Structure formats: structure tokens, C-alpha cells
Amino acid sequence: VLHISWFTESMSAGRPVSVEIRHYIQRSCAHPSAKPESAVSPYACQRRTTLDNHNKIFTDALEVLAENLELCGNQGPSLAFRRAASMLKSLPAALRRLEETQHLPCLGEHSRAIIEVQHEPRPSLSVSTHISSHLSCSAPAEALINTLSHRFLFYEDISKPVSRTEASALKIIVEEAVICVNPSATVSITGGFRRGKEFGHDVDFIIKTPEAGQEDVILPAVIKRFKSQNILLYSDLQESTFDLRKLPTHCFEAMDHFSKCFLIIKLKREQETDARAGKDWRAVRVDLVAPPLERFTYALLGWTGSTLFLRDLRRFARLERGKLLDNHALYDKATNTFLPAKTEEDIFAHLGLEYIEPWQRNA
Ligand code: DCT
Ligand code: MG
């Protein structure tokens, strides 16, 4: 039953069955008893991380810690916990004993302590008790959120997760507007939904325009159209600052320079769930990016994420291959050349990496 539901899930996410079967066999072979644990790579881009998380009790705890540390401004330790959680998400089975973590990468002494506590029979010590003892400050997350909610008009709506159904409805709206402005342009979903997630905090789209220069005019026109349809609640348009002559850029964690916009869109509800307020729509966060055609593949890879997967892909490129990767290009420092890529597979191949499908990038 589990196997069938797994395949059904994969198929409903639009993934080819042949690929899924191959992947399934790969996963089964990768069971700890068949493969030594030391085979787990410290780089997320060398691991296949699906949404099948067998170690949720550990990763949830580690991510709560990471989030709190981030709120306190402790980026370094926060990243260490995120890396630990990410590595555990890629394991093909649940950890049964602490000893199993011995050969696993990305686990520092603190992460191991969290795993140890989570292994203890409950309710001897709850994870929250233990977590609070690890927090270097009592992050006023709730207070912060409350303050923001007073300032942010659509806070209640946009703090609710966006479903895949809502994302599909938005794709139709975005596609309609884009095609109306430029009939030869195409729209693809990126971000978490491209990785197969059922829910997200926003919906990310990438627009492909076949004619040079079109990428700079399409977003203002799309925004104008949303305005005229009375579905635009907020927009922040960032015009392109992309300059080919400035590549390769060396600030790789920074935002890319493509034309992009951050929007809040009114989405009609199927049923009027908020009848009390007489409101038949909800506000949804939508991000659109429109790179030049010859930058499309790098932008698609970057905007598909996950953030941690991409961070490790760039780190791997730099440290292991002497190459610089960002949302604009892949640059080989040894030959001082840019490496061309028509598909995402080309980028992985340039880096000497096995191809990782979008739904295996949930690191
Ligand atoms: N990204 C990027 N450059 C930016 C902003 C984002 O390369 N300037 C990447 C990081 C992941 C991806 O784009 C989408 O970003 P998010 O929406 O923040 O992440 P997500 O994985 O889609 O998460 P969620 O499902 O919660 O939306
Ligand atoms: Mg997203």
C-alpha cells in the first residue's frame, strides 16, 4: 500500500513513472544495511532529498533551533543546524540508534545532542524543554509576528500556506496576463511547487521571453494588467540591473540582477469560506522573474531551490571544481570561460555531478 501511494503521489506531481521506478530502486538499494552510512555526502547537491522525510522528529527539532538562532542574528550556528536537518532529510530510513549517526556528515555535537534527546522515551523530556536550553536568546518570535501583523494589511491571508490547487489557479492567471502582453512568452512554476511540495509560503514563476529585450518590459505590462483586473493588492517591481560585462560576480549569496517583482494578488476562493466578512478571495504572495533568454537555465536552477540545495551546489562548484555558479552563469576559473547550458542537466554535467531532479532537491 505504501509503495502504491508513493507512486500515485509521484504521478500526481506530474513526474514520469519510469524515472520514479529507477529512483525507487535506487532508494531501496541505498538502505543503510546495503550501503555504508559514510557514503552520505556533506554536500546537499550530492544527495537526493525528496519530500519523504523519515526523520521528521529530528529535523523539526533542528529547524526550530535554526529558526530561533536566525531570529537572534546567529547565522553561523543557524546554518549548522539547517545543514544537519537537511542531511537527515536525505536518509532513506529513520535513525534507530544514536550510533547510526557516527559516520554521517554535517552533525556537530549540538545536533547530535538534539537527536539523542529525541530518541529518549517520551515524556521524560520534551524537545521544547531541551530546545529552550539550547537557545542563546529567548527569541520573541510571537511578539515580532504580532507587531508585523498590525503593520501588514494582508498578514492573516499571506501567513496561511498556499496550496498546490491555489498555485495552479494562479498559474492560469499569470499565464493569461503574460500571453496577453507577449504571445510568445511562456510561464513555468519554480520554487517549492516545482520541487513537488503541496504547500508553500508563496508561488514562484519564471517567465521565458524568446526575443532579446522583452524581459525588461514584460513585468511592468503584466503588473498593469493585474491592476486593471483589480486583483493587484501590492507590487514591488525591481528593474533589471543585469550587465553581462560585470560577470562573473563574486557575491554569490546575493540576489540576482534580473527583472523581477514581488506581488500580492487577490485569488478568488472556490467556496466563500470567509462568508462572515463577505470576502470571496484570499491574498497570495507571488514572485515573478524574467531573465534574458540566454540566462534562463541558470535562473531556473536558482529559483527552483531549495535555498540550501543551491547554497551547497555553489559551494561545491567553488571548492571542489574551481567554478563559480550563480543565477546568471557558470564560470570556469581555470580556463576563464563561461560554460554554456541549454538545460539544467548541462549545469550538473559541467560540475561532474549526477543529475538531481527538481523533486530530489528538497534539501
Ligand atoms: N531565490 C533566488 N533568488 C532570489 C530569491 C529566491 O535564487 N532572489 C531562490 C531560492 C529558492 C527559490 O528561489 C524560491 O524561493 P522561496 O519561495 O523563498 O523558497 P521555496 O523553496 O519556494 O519555499 P516556499 O515553498 O515556502 O515558498
Ligand atoms: Mg516559494
Beta strands in the chain (DSSP E): 162-163, 186-189, 199-200, 203-208, 232-238, 259-268, 281-290, 323-325, 330-332, 337-338
- For the beta carbon of residue 345, count every other beta carbon within 10 angstroms: 12
Helices (H) and strands (E) in the chain, counts: 14, 10
Among 164, 166, 204, residue to substitute to test ligand 1 (most atoms within 8 Å of Cβ): 204
Rounded distance between C-alpha atoms, residue 260 and residue 262, angstroms: 7
Q: Give the pLDDT confidence score for residue 205 in this predicted structure.
A: 98
Q: What is the pTM of this model?
A: 0.83
Check if the beta carbon of residue 64 is closer than 8 Å to that of residue 141. Answer: no
Q: Is the CB of 256 under 6 A from ligand 1?
A: yes
Q: Is the CB of 305 under 6 A from ligand 1?
A: yes
Q: Is the CB of 201 under 6 A from ligand 1?
A: yes
Amino acid making up residue 87: M
Check if the beta carbon of residue 37 is closer than 8 Å to that of residue 102. Answer: yes
Maximum Cα interatomic distance, the chain, rounded to a whole number of Å: 65
Among 193, 202, 256, 257, residue to substitute to test ligand 1 (most atoms within 8 Å of Cβ): 202
ipTM here: 0.96
334 CA to middle of ligand 1, Å? 31
Q: Residue 347's closest CA among 298, 299, 308?
A: 298
Q: Give the pLDDT confidence score for residue 126 in this predicted structure.
A: 46
Q: Which atom, in ligand 1's list, is nearest to the CA of 199?
A: 25
Q: Any idea which residues carry the catalytic annotation?
A: 202, 204, 287
Q: Is the CB of 326 under 6 A from ligand 1?
A: no
> Rg for the chain (alpha carbons), in Å?
22
Q: Is the CB of 197 under 6 A from ligand 1?
A: yes
Q: Give the pLDDT confidence score for residue 274 in this predicted structure.
A: 60
Rounded distance between C-alpha atoms, residue 13 and residue 260, angstroms: 27
**Cell numbers given for 279:** 470576502
Rounded distance between C-alpha atoms, residue 54 and residue 52, angstroms: 6
Rounded distance between C-alpha atoms, residue 191 and residue 288, angstroms: 11
- If the chain, 363 residues long, is cut into consecutive pieces of 10 residues, what is the mean pLDDT of each piece? 35 44 41 56 98 96 95 95 97 93 93 85 50 50 56 82 98 98 97 98 97 92 98 95 80 78 94 70 97 97 98 97 96 96 98 98 98
Q: Residue 317's closest CA among 303, 304, 302?
A: 302
115 CA to middle of ligand 2, Å? 29
Q: Give the pLDDT confidence score for residue 12 in this predicted structure.
A: 45
Residues 6+ apart with CB under 8 A from 292: 212, 215, 242, 258
Specify the DSSP element, H or E, that contains 142: helix 141-151
Q: Which atom, in ligand 1's list, is nearest to the CA of 202?
A: 27
Task: Concatenate the DSSP letters of all residues of 46-113 into one string.
Answer: GS-B-S--TTHHHHHHHHHHHHHHHHTT-HHHHHHHHHHHHHHHT-SS---SGGGGTT-TT--HHHHH
Q: Is the CB of 302 under 6 A from ligand 1?
A: yes
* CB under 8 A, 24+ apart: contacts of 1-6: 6/52
Rounded distance between C-alpha atoms, residue 107 and residue 115, angstroms: 10
